[in-house]
Amino acid sequence: TTSHQPSQSPSLSPSLSSMPSSEPTGKPTDQPSFPPTGSPYYPDWISTSQVCINDGLTPAYMKELQQQQANYLYMDKQECCETHFSWRVRQCMGNDEPVYYRDGSSSTCVKGETR
């Protein structure tokens, strides 16, 4: 006899249905998904360059909650730069190295705008 109850252990060879389901298997998400081959851009405030990067090392607090993802994660680098580094979008977009110059009042160098 065939039982309609779930088994107590996983099947070694699950059955496959040749009929598609009549209902979708999941709901659409509120936020667009990120490309499967890349990581989202996020603002990197910790490094001295302060740019938007997509190195796959997104800090946990930026990706744990849906609301945090909307605030910190971007599919577009320019949008990330304009949102979080509006005073230095060009440097953020190009990841240019900053220019250092002598400040004139001492023998120390200070970081200036990019070339």
Per-residue pLDDT 10s for the chain (115 aa) are 566 666 676 666 656 666 667 777 677 666 555 555 578 999 998 877 789 998 888 999 998 888 888 899 999 999 999 999 999 899 899 864 555 556 667 666 665 554 4
HSE of 69, CA atoms in CB hemisphere, 13 A: 13
| Predicted TM-score (pTM) of this structure | 0.52
Do 98 and 112 touch, CB atoms closer than 8 A?
A: yes
